[in-house]
Copies of this chain bind each other. A is one copy, B any other.
Amino acid sequence: MTTMSDRYQPPLSPTRPTMRHVAALAGVGIKTVSRVINDEAGVSEATRQKVLDAIAQLNYQLDVTAGSLRRAGRRTLSVGLLLPSVSNPFSGEIHRALEDALGARGIAVFAASLDDDPKREQAIIAAFLGRRVDGLVLTPIAKNQAYMIPEHSRNLPMVFIDREPVGVEADAVVTDNAVGAGKAASHLLRHGHTKLAYLGDRTDIQTARERRRGFLEEVGGAGIPTSALPVIDDLHDEEAARRAALELLNSEDPPTAIFSSQNLVTFGTMRAMKELGVHKRVALVGFDDFTLADMMDPGITVIAQHPERIGVKSAERLLARIDGDEQAPRTYIVPSELIQRGSGEIRPPA
């Protein structure tokens, strides 16, 4: 009886086996090996088995990149993903959803972090294009993506996420930033607040501008003059936000409700409120959900985005483009959602 363990194991060569080796061992031509691997028709079952045995014996693995050189359409079965930072949870969720959708098609994902640096954006895109990715999914930070026009006109599939492109036309998948921020505003107004404040991110980021616009329009639309409403922009980290919130809350006529336009700004604001002991008296609604928001005291009311849906949708669009969809580019909107947890339902002092 022959068992697995006494089957002949070929010595492992230091160089990786190629189709030529497999073909030689199986006693067939390399094209036949190629046919077997790619499940092409026209190989007898007996030959197929010989080839499969040789593949197993040599531990052969197809070189996808070499194949892509000749293959029709030149598919490399890899795509590039550019995120603000792979260490940011929001980006991580998008990445994960995208990976799952593309992985099902055998597509691997290159991921990279932009760090809000336009130069880095261009460098990473160049690096990915140099590896001939089949498509790009990206959160643009540069003011303008006109430098991508050459690729665009070569029909490179591209999907922009979170922010819309400027200077090229392409599909985009974004949260309804203005609407979401408007929801936050109307929620606070409905709870009786008239003294609101806005704490926002860098204004060179499109989403930040949208959130600000949505918030202020909703407040203005309710008849509250926005000229006197404190609007503090360019808060990009927790500490800056904390200091701004402290100053705001210590001012002569402090707001009774604050809207923070982004996670880190929300964290900084929470810290400032707790330091001053007003976290149960001043209302807070933050844009972006976060882990343990419900475990805070009070729970933090947020406008939640749906990164996984953004990821799924962008994968869907990218695959459609890769498969030859020639529709005019569109922007897809993923709705945000208000989640009440306490901090946004605090009423102003009577």
Q: Which of A's residues lie within 8 Å of B, judged by CB?
A: 12, 14-16, 59, 61-66, 68-69, 76-78, 85-89, 91-93, 95-96, 99-100, 103, 106, 108-113, 126-132, 150, 153-155, 267, 270-271, 274, 290-292, 295-297
| Chain B residues in 8 Å Cβ range of A297 | 297
Whether B132 and A63, one on each chain, are in contact in the complex, defined by CB atoms closer than 8 angstroms, is yes
The verdict on A127 contacting B150 (CB below 8 Å), with A96-B85, A291-B290 known, is no
CA separation between A103 and B95, bound complex, in Å? 19
Partner of A12 from the list B61, B69, B113, B150 (CB cut-off 8 Å) is: B150
User: What number of copies of this chain does the assembly contain?
Assistant: 2
The verdict on A14 contacting B154 (CB below 8 Å), with A296-B292, A297-B297 known, is yes
Whether A110 and B110, one on each chain, are in contact in the complex, defined by CB atoms closer than 8 angstroms, is yes
Closest to A100 in B: B113
Partner of A112 from the list B77, B87, B109 (CB cut-off 8 Å) is: B109
| Chain B residues in 8 Å Cβ range of A88 | 92
| Chain B residues in 8 Å Cβ range of A68 | 65
CA separation between A295 and B103, bound complex, in Å? 38
- A328 CB to nearest chain B CB (Å): 19
CA separation between A274 and B295, bound complex, in Å? 9
| Chain B residues in 8 Å Cβ range of A92 | 85-89, 91-92
